Amino acid sequence: MFSDISDIETGAINGDICLVGAGAAGISLAKQFLNSPHKVILLEAGGLEYEESTQALYRGESEGLMYFPLASARLRYFGGSTGHWGGACTPLDAIDFEKRGWLPHSGWPFQRTELEPYYPMAQKICGIGPFDYRTEYWSDPEKSPALPLADTGIQSRIIQNSNPPLRFGTAYRTDLEDAKNIQVVLHANVLEFVADTENENITGVNARNIDGRRLHVKARIYVLCAGGFENPRLMLLSNKQYTQGIGNHNNLVGRYFMEHIYVSDAGKLMLSEPRNMKLYERHNVNGTDIRTGLCLSQDAQRSDKLMNAWVGFKLKGAPSSQRRYSSLNYLKRSIRNGEIPEDLWRHIGAAIDDLGDHIKRKFTGDKPNKRKDKTIIGFSTHSEQAPNPESRVHLGEDIDEFGQRTLVLDWRLTDIDHASIRKTLERMAHGFGMADLGRIMTEFSGNDDGWATQDSTQGNTTPSGSFHQMGTTRMHSSAKEGVVDSNLKVHGLNNMYVAGSSVFPTCGWSNPTLTIVALSCRLADHLKLTLS
């Protein structure tokens, strides 16, 4: 059932579960309760479509490394940021869950095996192929062979693409509309969680629309699924009963902000002979759109003490094409919001990247170069960020239309981040040399401090984010080191949970959506047990 906050005459509704946010996490959670005995209330701040006035509520500032404007980096309507995601799906690696001695603050409170039952469900929800990421499953020895990388410490690594990217709001609207036990309330901007400090419970949430209509929701369990920026913001704003904010006893809410570090021109690979690189282009295999890149094996990461990273070759369907798509959308949204991004030049460059070639081919009738055999290939990197408590979001001094403080992002990288990518590329170069496959040129020089000091002379290795906001309400078994426990329950509260990428303690290199959905499915199982 769908309703609007303005339709609820009493200004109050009750249920068993209150979900705040109808993005990938919230919708995935709600789906797990379809036609169950439990009443689920799903609160969405926006409407069914993009609205400028609602989107403007996402504005904020950035005071650290250059980042996308906060109002354009995420979407505030039913479906959330799945309304502009690129569709890339891949699970985290086992090593991403481990406590790595060379990486402070690493380690999830459970291993990857804990998510194994939920990744296949997540694959279906994201609209992609089977849960099989083995190279041998997707490659073909004749048509799309994998590079012969045995014993080099390098492995090929698959990404499956939801193509076209599944918009959760469109795909699952009917399911939620038809479910008698699920009430979606639109334009319900949650302003605060109300707590009973004595019993350590949340007793309700207060929501409002822009016109002033109010709503109070009471439930047995509350789950915050509003995204990597808004999750910590709402917890910090809920400070009437817990003055430092909900779940913030140890000043951790908002800290450990992580992004996937994207470097567009990270280097070049010169192959010793032309090779068929089709596997590493974006192409379709048995109905599933895939791309393949390279990572260091988990053993190589352990032996060399490196973080995880993915190298993507600039071939057909490469990040330059995806980046053009993302940048065009981003520019469109920024224009709608009346904003001029600080990194305007970068997005214009990405948006017109190889557009000249497309126009030229239109007039000349030339076909694009379809040679599969490549010798010199550029590549980009997509890398894990080291958890850093000083990289954070916090409340600023600006006030929004509801009188609430907006968000400030202070994204920081350290020399560990730069050094890990630099050494990863050198390690890959060694692997290619050992196997007689070719030589690698890396743009990463020895100046590992440049990112930490925001040295503007980084040239080609200037880092960019990937629209993946993670880590700001991180998971840890101890309340001293995390905001939520292994079941995603907020430490110090009995009935509040957080879902989404804000709970990631580390982020690997993998695009987060598949893991967000898998974690949501796992949380749903936990909540069903709790409610019963």
Partner 1 sequence: MERRALLNLFVKVGILSLVAAKVPAQPVIRKTPTHGNKRAHFSPETDQLGRFYLSACPEDTPYCRKLMLELGYSPANPLKVDHGLGRVFSKQIRNDFRVGNTFILCGWVLSRTELRLATLNIL
171 or 271: whose CB is closer to partner 1?
271
36 or 375: whose CB is closer to partner 1?
375
Spacing of C-alpha 168 from chain mean position: 15
DSSP per-residue string spanning 327-378? HHHHHHHHHHTT---TTHHHHHHHHTTTHHHHHHHHHH-PPP----EEEEEE
Least Cβ distance, residue 273 to partner 1 (angstroms): 8
Residue of 397, 417, 419, 416 lying closest to 407 (CA atoms): 397
12-20, 21-29, 225-233, 428-436 -> range binding partner 1 (CB under 8 A): 428-436
Lookup: tokens for 197: 């400090």
Distance between CA atoms of 309 and 295, rounded to whole angstroms?
Answer: 6
328 or 435: whose CB is closer to partner 1?
435
Lookup: tokens for 33: 């309760």
Binding partner 1 (rule: CB under 8 A), the pick from 430, 477, 479, 531 is 430
Distance between CA atoms of 43 and 217, rounded to whole angstroms?
Answer: 9
Residue of 257, 220, 210, 270 lying closest to 47 (CA atoms): 210
Least Cβ distance, residue 422 to partner 1 (angstroms): 10
C-alpha Rg value of the chain to the nearest Å: 23
312-320, 387-395, 429-437, 508-516 -> range binding partner 1 (CB under 8 A): 429-437
147 or 440: whose CB is closer to partner 1?
440
Phi and psi at residue 318, in whole multiples of 5°?
A: -75, 175
Q: Quick one: DSSP state of residue 418?
A: H
Site for partner 1, residues 350 to 409, rule: CB under 8 A: 376
292-300, 347-355, 441-449, 470-478 -> range binding partner 1 (CB under 8 A): 441-449
Instruction: Determine, following the binding rule CB under 8 A, whether residue 426 of this chain makes contact with partner 1.
Output: yes
Least Cβ distance, residue 357 to partner 1 (angstroms): 20
Helix intervals (H) in 152-222: 168-171, 173-178
Site for partner 1, residues 332 to 361, rule: CB under 8 A: none
Binding partner 1 (rule: CB under 8 A), the pick from 441, 452, 479, 531 is 441
Site for partner 1, residues 200 to 229, rule: CB under 8 A: none
Least Cβ distance, residue 378 to partner 1 (angstroms): 11
Least Cβ distance, residue 91 to partner 1 (angstroms): 30
216 or 430: whose CB is closer to partner 1?
430
Q: Is the peptide bond before 104 cis (omega within 30 degrees of 0)?
A: no
User: How many C-alpha atoms does 258 have within 13 Å on its Cβ side?
Assistant: 29
Least Cβ distance, residue 451 to partner 1 (angstroms): 18
Binding partner 1 (rule: CB under 8 A), the pick from 305, 332, 439, 480 is 439
Instruction: Determine, following the binding rule CB under 8 A, whether residue 429 of this chain makes contact with partner 1.
Output: yes
**SS3 letters across 435-463:** CCCEEEEECCCCCCCCCCCCCHHHHHHCC
Distance between CA atoms of 421 and 444, rounded to whole angstroms?
Answer: 8
54 or 461: whose CB is closer to partner 1?
461
Distance between CA atoms of 337 and 56, rounded to whole angstroms?
Answer: 7
Note whether 217 and 18 are within 8 A (CB).
Answer: yes
Least Cβ distance, residue 201 to partner 1 (angstroms): 57
Least Cβ distance, residue 132 to partner 1 (angstroms): 32
Least Cβ distance, residue 101 to partner 1 (angstroms): 22
- Tokens 């303690």 — which residue? 505
Binding partner 1 (rule: CB under 8 A), the pick from 15, 79, 80, 438 is 438
Instruction: Determine, following the binding rule CB under 8 A, whether residue 447 of this chain makes contact with partner 1.
Output: no
Distance between CA atoms of 268 and 379, rounded to whole angstroms?
Answer: 6
Note whether 221 and 495 are within 8 A (CB).
Answer: yes
144 or 462: whose CB is closer to partner 1?
462
Number of residues that bind partner 1 (CB under 8 A): 24
Least Cβ distance, residue 116 to partner 1 (angstroms): 35
197 or 272: whose CB is closer to partner 1?
272
Least Cβ distance, residue 301 to partner 1 (angstroms): 16
Residue of 227, 261, 338 lying closest to 66 (CA atoms): 261
- Beta partners for residue 268, in sequence order: 378, 441
Least Cβ distance, residue 308 to partner 1 (angstroms): 20
Helix, strand, coil tally for the chain in percent (to 5): 30, 25, 45
Site for partner 1, residues 242 to 281, rule: CB under 8 A: 267-268, 270-273
32-40, 175-183, 204-212, 438-446 -> range binding partner 1 (CB under 8 A): 438-446
Binding partner 1 (rule: CB under 8 A), the pick from 284, 445, 453, 478 is 445
241 or 276: whose CB is closer to partner 1?
276
Distance between CA atoms of 414 and 391, rounded to whole angstroms?
Answer: 10
Binding partner 1 (rule: CB under 8 A), the pick from 32, 144, 442, 502 is 442
Least Cβ distance, residue 142 to partner 1 (angstroms): 22
Lookup: tokens for 36: 């169950």
Note whether 17 and 161 are within 8 A (CB).
Answer: no
Q: Which residues of this protein are in contact with partner 1, per CB under 8 A?
A: 267-268, 270-273, 376, 425-426, 429-436, 438-443, 445
